Structure 1
């Protein structure tokens, strides 16, 4: 009886032992399945976390990419070492690099307006970093390049406005001022624009002062020219009057001289007549030349070829006289010779 009990106990123990082994094996299997499922779920979560770093088409980074990067890193770190984990970690690293460059690019503009303190050197450095992104994600590279181009354009407009203002300050011409004014209007940054407009206003004040000075100088020159013209005209009129006076005086003098000359000529002629009458008057004698001989008995006087025959006629008015073809004058038997 005792032996039966022992055997029965041993069987019971054996049965219990067999049941425990089965339960353990089952649990092991369940745990393995659960662990595998957990791995799958973790991998899926990691992939989703990494995918959330982009938009649906992966052409842009997510707006809150920095926060999502932290979640993605933690999720991927839960994975066992595997190719998937390495691949996902590499992708997270690329997103970090893109995010850093994107932050630099976005820092150049604020609401699509160039930030005031951006420099050309800064843009050149960012541009060099963008080139690296092209190998990682070309769509994002194109987007950031276009964004940076807008920053470069606005900076170029700002620098051009500064240059035009400097040129206007140097030349102080209306044309250079208007060019500067047009350049300033292109500046989108309102703070910088107001600063440039203030400088431009100072240039305009100098320009107005210069234009006023030039206008005053022009009016003074025109006034001086007008006065000189009046003086020249007055001097010309005076000179003309003097010339007319001189002409009149000359004419009067010439008339006087002519009158004096005529008087002298008349006096000379009178003296000549008197002299002729006194010195050349033929002597009256009673002998008369013979008309048949055709020659005179003597020469009683001389007349030059300039002798005025009318005066001779007056001289011999009361005498009988004749003039021969040879130029001799016969009067009362005396012969007067005419020298040619």
Structure 2
């Protein structure tokens, strides 16, 4: 009986998802799509061209798959949040010319660089990850650049980030990597003011990396104790919706606290409520695809629904948003269906 009920429930869910995905896909194609994970935007005045030459977003892509995810986020910044900041994409030679053209169509600048190498015995999956560090060299290429917001590609931007450029001067801003025991900061989102001295420090450290060290270790070593914090909500792991957990920094709204007051007093080990995980998604500025299931290009929406049938619905919505956008935007070769 229970299995029949589950089959019926899954059938209803998949029918709903089919209609929802179809409508969303049409909205993306027509430029009318708004993220389902945030409230409607207040319309902002548009600017005809990029006028600020000193501040820029920086993404990096080492292959076409990551280039697709970068394209998704650049489109969100340009079309959903109407950002008029410069956007620079650092690419390796493995990113095809089709992506170069797609980036340029969104008024993003493409710069091809050869990344420094990791230790010869390092995990080959991360062999080109040091391309991110080339952001610290960009003022050499364009002396106009002063502040760079470095954003990793395997994420989903949920909110406008332009205001970060208005923070007071500092060498580097970054959120704490709250999911790690050590007091490290995350390199998946960094606001940096690069100097020649920083770039020299990076070049000196990279040849001495150990097999288990990546670009995050370089950044944390060089800027240890110097990074100015930004709230942890700026980079939130999507594993919270897979595992039904809340980060330690999360504070529920007054409405949720009041509604739960009539029930049992929540404890730190208690499973969070639907409402709390819904609100976590509204507090997040960026979602990092870190759940055990993998990246949104690894499985389609239907497979995730099967593999993560116990997950909170936000996990599926985030996954769906990435794939709908990627299907509409990316050249053929990464995904061919939602």
The TM-score range, normalised by the shorter chain, is under 0.3
Greater fraction of residues in helix:
1
Greater fraction of residues in strand:
2
Q: Per chain length, whose mean CA-contact separation is higher, i.e. which structure has more relative contact order (CA < 8 Å, sep 6+)?
A: 2
Largest Rg, 1 or 2? 1
Q: TM-score, normalised by structure 2?
A: 0.19
